[in-house]
């Protein structure tokens, strides 16, 4: 732990800085899990992350966390309540299994961004790699750039918004999650199909884009959802299993 500043008379919460060049990820996470609650600290700066894994995982408290540099695997994993911003790129599984709160990545995200997330908002301002939104369970994900192959694979609930292009097999084996794509779709996966946008889609997407900070018109997006033809065993869909 490096430094701490008290709150001021304007109501600003106290802040704390962790410099990972001098402090371990373990100490940071232990603080977030144990000492943060009741401390009055509302903002945490993490310096020199240098691609470390598991930064700010399992946070269970409302707090703003700014990670100033590159994160490794699982930044913000299983997050609940916290608003985390990574000022750089991240490795695999950013915000995996997130329950609530938000994670924003100003750069690019590697594979499985937002995997199995239950809630909250994940924003990747750059591109996201393969399997973005895999097995998502209610999370909202907005990607400013492109996503790789097999994104939203077996996605169960929530929304994946892709402002750029999507790779192969988008939405393969989708359940009830919905995908919105502004750019080109290289190919759709098994049981995924393009559908007409409804008014409800446009309204929900406008709100989501606004929260994510992207100026796009919802009318530019295509909707992809499940055809639900694989929900039950079907001998005529032989190779799809």
Helix (H, G, I), strand (E, B) or coil at 164: coil
DSSP code at position 34:
I
Which backbone phi and psi does 195 adopt, to 5 degrees? -130, 165
In the block, residue with structure tokens 């996503």: 147
The nearest distance, CB 207 to other proteins, in angstroms, is 22
d(CA 240, CA 156): 18
Q: How many CB atoms lie within 10 A of CB 109?
A: 32
Structure tokens given for 135: 């097995």
Residue 58 Rama label (left phi>0; alpha psi -120 to 50; beta): left
d(CA 145, CA 105): 12
Binding marks (x or -) toward other proteins, 139..158, rule CB under 8 A? --------------xx-xx-
How many residues interact with other proteins (rule CB under 8 A)?
Answer: 45
Binding marks (x or -) toward other proteins, 75..114, rule CB under 8 A? --xx-x-----------xx--xx-x-----------xx--
- DSSP-derived pairing of the beta strands 3-5 and 192-195: unpaired
Q: Does 72 bind other proteins (CB under 8 A)?
A: yes
Q: Does 235 bind other proteins (CB under 8 A)?
A: yes
Considering the complex, state which of residue 53 and residue 68 has its C-beta at the smaller distance from other proteins: 53
* Among residues 36, 65, 74, 103, the one that binds other proteins under rule CB under 8 A: 74
Binding marks (x or -) toward other proteins, 18..57, rule CB under 8 A? -------xx--xx--xx------------------xx--x
146 touches 167 (CB < 8 A): yes
Binding residues vs other proteins (CB under 8 A)? 25-26, 29-30, 33-34, 53-54, 57-58, 60, 72-74, 77-78, 80, 92-93, 96-97, 99, 111-112, 115-116, 118, 131, 134-135, 137-138, 153-154, 156-157, 175-176, 231-233, 235-236, 238, 241
């Amino acid at each position: 732990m490096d430094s701490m500043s008290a709150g001021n008379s304007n109501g600003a919460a106290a802040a704390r800085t962790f410099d990972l060049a001098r402090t371990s990820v373990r100490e940071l996470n232990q603080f977030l899990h144990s000492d943060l609650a009741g401390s009055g600290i509302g903002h945490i700066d993490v310096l020199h992350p240098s691609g470390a894994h598991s930064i700010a995982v399992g946070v269970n408290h409302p707090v703003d966390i700014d990670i100033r540099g590159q994160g490794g695997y699982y930044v913000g994993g299983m997050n609940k309540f916290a608003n985390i911003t990574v000022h750089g790129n991240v490795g695999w599984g950013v915000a995996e299994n997130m329950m609530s709160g938000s994670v924003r990545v100003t750069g690019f995200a590697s594979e499985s961004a937002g995997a199995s997330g239950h809630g909250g908002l994940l924003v990747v301002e750059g591109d996201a790699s393969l399997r973005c939104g895999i097995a998502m369970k209610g999370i909202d994900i907005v990607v400013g750039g492109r996503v790789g192959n097999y994104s939203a694979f077996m996605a169960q609930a929530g929304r994946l918004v892709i402002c750029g292009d999507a790779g192969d097999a988008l939405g393969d084996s989708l359940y009830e999650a919905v995908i919105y794509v502004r750019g080109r779709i290289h190919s759709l996966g098994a049981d995924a199909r393009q559908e007409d946008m409804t008014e409800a889609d446009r309204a929900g997407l406008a709100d989501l884009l606004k929260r994510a900070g992207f100026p796009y018109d919802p009318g530019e997006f295509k909707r992809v959802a499940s055809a639900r033809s694989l929900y039950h065993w079907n001998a005529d869909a032989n190779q799809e299993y």
